[in-house]
Amino acid sequence: MTTQLSIRPAVLADLSAIVAMLADDPLGATRESPDDLTPYQDAFARITAAPDQHLIVAERENRVVGTLQLSVLPGLSRRGTSRTIIEAVRVHDTERGNGLGTELIRWAVDRSRELGAGLVQLTSDATRTDAHRFYERLGFVPSHIGFKLTL
């Protein structure tokens, strides 16, 4: 049995815990620097200044145990449908397998509806096959190829 979970907007005091989760990941380990928070502080300020960005954390017993970022994109396609994009989903390793990932994504889907979106989208690295099954179980359709160009 797990104790009460709360999902709330991230504050600056959560930053170190969020970055630790970003880094504690096979892909994240190669591209994050949890010992130097400076670049993350700048990015945190940009995110909180942008009304269409929603960076949230899941907290249990005063510990940050999960995070994701939800972005709203207004657009013309599909008769002017706004969409949301889910990025940077992470669950603390002590919480894996207990349904927290599902709670986070369900929160993001519900929040997307409240924000007036008609579509939720995300991309997942092709190597994360467990994640793909997870998103399909939640009703997401793997209809697209995700392309990236590093600048």
Residues lying near a copy of itself in the complex (CB under 8 A): 15, 18-19, 22, 28, 31-33, 39-44, 46-47, 50, 52-53, 55, 69, 71, 73-82, 85, 87-88, 109, 112-113, 117-126, 132, 135-136, 138-151
Residue number with CB closer to a copy of itself (6 or 46): 46
- Residues contacting residue 142 through CB under 8 Å, at least 6 positions apart: 132, 135, 136
Sign of CA dihedral 19, 53, 12, 49: positive
Least spacing, CB of residue 82 vs a copy of itself, in Å: 7
DSSP state of 50: -
Least spacing, CB of residue 12 vs a copy of itself, in Å: 12
Residue number with CB closer to a copy of itself (98 or 119): 119
Residue number with CB closer to a copy of itself (2 or 36): 36
* Number of neighbours of residue 79 by Cβ within 10 angstroms: 6
Least spacing, CB of residue 121 vs a copy of itself, in Å: 5
User: Are 100 and 91 in contact, with CB atoms under 8 Å apart?
Assistant: yes
User: Are 112 and 118 in contact, with CB atoms under 8 Å apart?
Assistant: no
